[in-house]
Structure 1
Amino acid sequence: MNETVDKTAIRHASTVLLVRSGPDGPYVLMGQRGAQAAFMPDKFVFPGGAVDPGDADIPLSRPLGAQCAARLSHDAPGPTALAAAAIRELWEETGLMLGRAGQWPDPPPDWLPFAQQGLLPDASGLHYIFRAITPPGRTRRFDARFFLADVEHVTGDPDDFSHACEELAHLHWVPFDQARKLNLPFITEVVLAEAHARIMGEDMASSVPFFDNSTGTSCFRRIA
């Protein structure tokens, strides 16, 4: 007997805001979801997606920073799984790799192309900046952690998206002020503002904003 999967159950997820300096200030990498996508069709988003069961067992060449790891340590599925998922989703959806030279003991099939480049995932450049849970009533619900990373941590050409899957179209680097003019989900606008403030030097690292919509009542709090 086949089990029915509850697609509205809250799934853990990781998202990456990959940024670089440009002539007009900081740029962020974004892509557009397809018109037929079940979740946020046509919207421009950052690369990201659900945590896979095996992500907790992925070897990292370097872990998350101590503060980020501590803030994630009390949450299932834990800092390693969330960091590995962020790196995997960025790689799958853009073809860009946050990696460092190293040998895998036994790479799982979905990580084999990554491992064949002689790289281990490197989480040291990821900075945890936001958490949000999708409100009830949506076709998909995620408990998403957003990570900020500088393009200097990417191995290879940051303009080469030839190895990206087809989940995101129109992958491109967008100046932050122009990104706000795109067709964005509300939470993406909020996270953009948070990321831009951090990049511009505002001292916001003392806590992480958290939009908790796990119940019918929306709650905003901060993770110390």
Structure 2
Amino acid sequence: MTDAVKPDGGADNPGGADLRRSTARAPGTRAVRPRHAASLIVWRKGSGEPEILMGVRHAKHKFMPSVLVFPGGRVDRADHGVKALSELRPETLALLAHRAPPSLARALGVAAIRELIEETGLLLGEKQGDRLLADLSSLDYLCRAVTPPMRAMRFNARFLVAPAEAVRGEIHGSGELEKLGWYSLSAAREALLADITRRILEEFEQYVALAPSERHRRPKIVFRGNDNRMSDE
């Protein structure tokens, strides 16, 4: 990794906003509107348990340094309406669009895949010159999480899932994430994690235990407040 990382570079990653008290908003100020964001859980079968692609935020970041996270970040304006290699499957689109218009639902998928290549070098789709054509059909929906109102930086983050066999390329970081690699569930839990990341790992473990045909029928779940698991129906 390079040392030329901006101190707050990548602060848009939605995982771990609960780790720093300095992110609390000033008393008497209005709650910040959550930014739409997406994280991608790329996973593969390990020898004994699933392994997930994760990385550690650079130690020089002022915002949650040295924390293990999934690739992810906020939705950019450019994520809307771009061409894709494939579209979201109907069940995934329906889950993403449950609390978002269809255009945003699609942009969330694009953002997750864009952040994957930016932060890990891995491609879920194709590149045509500098343009990314996202393979949206490979995405499953897991859940969402909304940062508490008292935080100065807030996200309405959707957590998406993709199988490792749909991804190609070699892992190489951009400098935002160090120690990029495949972490077993046990190894991930032993690392420095934000509380919400730990809860998402629990949610993923329930997801992966189901038959593939049943995964999209899971109850809709949102984490609110101090990572309280609630129905999102």
Q: TM-score range by the shorter chain?
A: 0.7 to 0.9
Unaligned runs of 5+ in 2: 1-29
| 1:34 and 2:47 are equivalent in the alignment | no
From 31, 36, 42, the equivalent of 1:18 is 42
Q: Which amino acid in structure 2 is aligned with residue 147 of structure 1?
A: L
1:93 counterpart SS class: helix
Deviation at 1:34, TM superposition (A): 2.2
Q: Following the alignment from structure 1 to structure 2, what is the Cα–Cα distance between the partners of residues 136 and 38? A: 21
Q: Following the alignment from structure 2 to structure 1, what is the Cα–Cα distance between the partners of residues 51 and 228? A: 30
- 8 Å CA contact retained: 2:141, 2:160: yes
> Which string of whole-angstrom CA distances, capped at 9 and with x for unpartnered residues, describes residues 54-93 of structure 1?
1012211211111121122241562210000000001100
Deviation at 1:198, TM superposition (A): 1.5
Q: Following the alignment from structure 2 to structure 1, what is the Cα–Cα distance between the partners of residues 191 and 182? A: 12
1:186 counterpart residue number = 195
Shift in alpha-carbon separation, 1:115–1:139, aligned structure 2, 3 A: farther
Deviation at 1:211, TM superposition (A): 1.3
Q: Which amino acid in structure 1 is aligned with residue 186 of structure 2?
A: D
- 8 Å CA contact retained: 1:210, 1:223: yes
Shift in alpha-carbon separation, 1:177–1:218, aligned structure 2, 3 A: closer
- 8 Å CA contact retained: 2:32, 2:152: yes
- 8 Å CA contact retained: 1:38, 1:139: no
Taking structure 1 as the reference length, the TM-score comes to 0.79
1:104 counterpart residue number = none
From 166, 174, 199, the equivalent of 1:153 is 166
The root-mean-square deviation of aligned C-alpha atoms, in Å, is 2.5
- 8 Å CA contact retained: 2:41, 2:159: yes
1:129 counterpart SS class: strand
From 82, 89, 100, the equivalent of 2:115 is 89
Q: Following the alignment from structure 2 to structure 1, what is the Cα–Cα distance between the partners of residues 43 and 143? A: 15
Shift in alpha-carbon separation, 1:7–1:32, aligned structure 2, 3 A: farther
| 1:209 and 2:233 are equivalent in the alignment | no
Q: Following the alignment from structure 2 to structure 1, what is the Cα–Cα distance between the partners of residues 148 and 182? A: 29
Q: Which amino acid in structure 2 is aligned with residue 185 of structure 1?
A: A
Deviation at 1:194, TM superposition (A): 1.0
Q: Following the alignment from structure 2 to structure 1, what is the Cα–Cα distance between the partners of residues 227 and 124? A: 34
2:86 counterpart SS class: coil
- 8 Å CA contact retained: 2:83, 2:133: yes
Deviation at 1:151, TM superposition (A): 0.5
Would you tell me which structure has more helix in proportion to its own residues?
2
Shift in alpha-carbon separation, 1:63–1:39, aligned structure 2, 3 A: farther
| 1:136 and 2:145 are equivalent in the alignment | no
Moved more, 198-207 or 44-53: 198-207
Q: Which amino acid in structure 2 is aligned with residue 188 of structure 1?
A: T
> Which string of whole-angstrom CA distances, capped at 9 and with x for unpartnered residues, describes residues 109-163 of structure 1?
xxxxx3228862101111110100111333421110000110111133xxx223x
Q: Which amino acid in structure 2 is aligned with residue 81 of structure 1?
A: A
Unaligned runs of 5+ in 1: 1-5, 101-113
1:57 counterpart SS class: coil
From 45, 59, 64, the equivalent of 2:83 is 59
Q: Which amino acid in structure 1 is aligned with residue 222 of structure 2?
A: F
Shift in alpha-carbon separation, 1:7–1:222, aligned structure 2, 3 A: closer
Taking structure 2 as the reference length, the TM-score comes to 0.77
